[in-house]
């Protein structure tokens, strides 16, 4: 099952394994805010969880935390694909302005 963000994806990074989970950054088109990002994760070693989950499903998720309770090492994923993520965000913002 795909998530709302994946259905509206402008760009998705390749997955990056951070410890025992795989992560990807999804740039998607939001109806109100335009181009936005969200991190998705999965545990490839858990057969009960074959699909990626939105970051809000992360066990330590906390929307009031600076990092939303997500692993701070996600910066590695962002930095690795920063140019592609920023290009997709810029394209999405342009599309919304039109």
- Write out pLDDT tens, residues 73-87: 999 999 999 999 999
Residue 98 pLDDT > 70, yes or no? Answer: no
Longest dimension (CA), the chain: 44
The Cα–Cα gap between 38 and 33 comes to 13
Instruction: Report yes or no: 13 and 77 within 8 Å, Cβ to Cβ.
Output: yes
Of residues 41 and 98, more confidence is placed in 41
Instruction: Report yes or no: 67 and 75 within 8 Å, Cβ to Cβ.
Output: no
The mean pLDDT value for 5-20 works out to: 93
Of residues 68 and 7, more confidence is placed in 68
Q: Which pLDDT tens digit goes with each residue over 24-71?
A: 999 999 988 899 999 999 999 999 988 999 999 999 999 999 999 999
Confidence of residue 4 (pLDDT cuts 50, 70, 90): confident
Q: How much is the pTM?
A: 0.87
């Amino acid at each position: 099952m795909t998530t709302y963000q994946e259905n509206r994806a402008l760009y998705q990074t390749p997955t990056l394994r951070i410890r025992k989970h795989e992560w990807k950054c999804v740039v998607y088109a939001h109806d109100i805010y335009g181009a936005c990002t969200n991190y998705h994760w999965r545990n490839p070693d858990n057969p009960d969880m074959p699909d990626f989950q939105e970051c809000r499903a992360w066990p330590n998720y906390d929307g009031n935390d600076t990092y939303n309770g997500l692993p701070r090492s996600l910066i590695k994923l962002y930095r690795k694909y920063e140019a592609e993520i920023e290009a997709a965000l810029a394209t999405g913002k342009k599309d919304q302005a039109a």
